[in-house]
Amino acid sequence: MTEPGLYIVATPIGNLGDLTARALAVLGECSAVACEDTRVTGKLLHHAGLKKRLIRYDDHADEAVRERLLAMAAEQPVALVSDAGTPLISDPGYRLVRDARNRGIAVTSIPGPSALIVALTLSGLPTDRFLFAGFFPAKEKARAETLADLAPIKATLVFYETAPRLVASLDAIAEALPMREVAVARELTKKFEECRTGVASELSAHYADTPARGEIVLMIGPPNEDEGKVDLDIDALLRAELADHKPSQAAARLAKAHGLDRKTLYARAMELK
């Protein structure tokens, strides 16, 4: 029998078959389930053949709701879930976990799906070191500041993003880090799962023509040791070519001479022009 305490239960990010046997067992024995959206969690529990007391707990939940959950968890098993994936990963819940631990309430995590980890394993980008930075900023200035702050970090950068903002975010990356390898993962574990890689300008052009749908994980590869030097050299070469050629011609000439990506060079040439 499941002991009293707080159980952090990972739920599927798309494919309902990813609900683990242990997660199902714990949810079945919990007296209540704290969740972001009772409608979303209600559908999952219905699929699992369970009917549980659902308590809404999100970023807007007040202290009274947290106190209520803590009082329950001290005497009976209570589950915490998110709408999809592993709770607390860019989701509400850390205050609840912290307060439970401070009061001596047992806290157990039931591992399972996480869009962050799934995307990294699909991307082909280095995974020995990575930095998860939550949702990519929505405003232009904040995007630029975030990229400037994180660009020197020698690790793969991982963000969550929404489909309507994807092209603007890729454009910001193309401007700040034009030569970095980027990956876009979406619809993870679902029928139309996709992980597309390339430089940001290429990906921006693709998704401008073919708008993305679903939830997105946006990843930026780590810097090369001589990244700064390469960027400066490319700018100098492009400026020299632009003195006598159109941007398309300048990009084509440099791509052929140095084995670089023509589309990326063209995008940078247009910015310099």
How far is 44 from 84, CA to CA, in rounded Å? Answer: 10
- The confidence score (pLDDT) of residue 232 equals 42
Using a pLDDT cut of 90, give the percent of the chain over it: 78
Query: In this structure, are residues 75 and 32 in contact, taking their beta carbons and an 8 Å threshold?
Result: no
CA-wise closest residue to 56 among 45, 70, 66, 47? 66
Distance of CA 168 to the CA centre of its chain: 16
- The confidence score (pLDDT) of residue 264 equals 87
Between 61-70, 208-217, 251-260, the lowest mean confidence (pLDDT) is in: 251-260
- Average pLDDT of span 62-73: 95
pLDDT category at 227 given cuts 50, 70, 90 is: low
pLDDT category at 234 given cuts 50, 70, 90 is: confident
Between 21-25, 60-64, 259-263, the lowest mean confidence (pLDDT) is in: 259-263
Q: With a cut of 70, say whether residue 201 has pLDDT above it.
A: yes
How far is 80 from 73, CA to CA, in rounded Å? Answer: 11
* Start-end of H helices in the chain: 21-29, 38-47, 63-73, 94-102, 115-123, 140-150, 166-176, 200-209, 227-242, 247-258, 262-272
DSSP string of 131-194? EEEEEPPSSHHHHHHHHHHHTTSSSEEEEEE-GGGHHHHHHHHHHH-TTSEEEEEESTTSTT-E
- The confidence score (pLDDT) of residue 91 equals 86
Between 63-67, 72-76, 89-93, 128-132, the lowest mean confidence (pLDDT) is in: 89-93
- Average pLDDT of span 8-33: 97
More confident residue, 253 or 43: 43
pLDDT tens for 69-121 read 999 999 999 999 999 999 999 888 999 999 999 999 999 999 999 999 999 99
Between 15-29, 69-83, 222-236, the lowest mean confidence (pLDDT) is in: 222-236
Q: Is 67 exposed, middle or buried (0-12, 13-18, 19+ CB in 10 A)?
A: exposed
Q: With a cut of 50, say whether residue 184 has pLDDT above it.
A: yes
Q: How much is the mean pLDDT over the chain? A: 92
Using a pLDDT cut of 70, give the percent of the chain over it: 96
- With a CB cutoff of 8 Å and minimum separation 6, the contacts of 266 are 247, 248, 251
Q: What is the pTM of this model?
A: 0.80
pLDDT category at 231 given cuts 50, 70, 90 is: very low
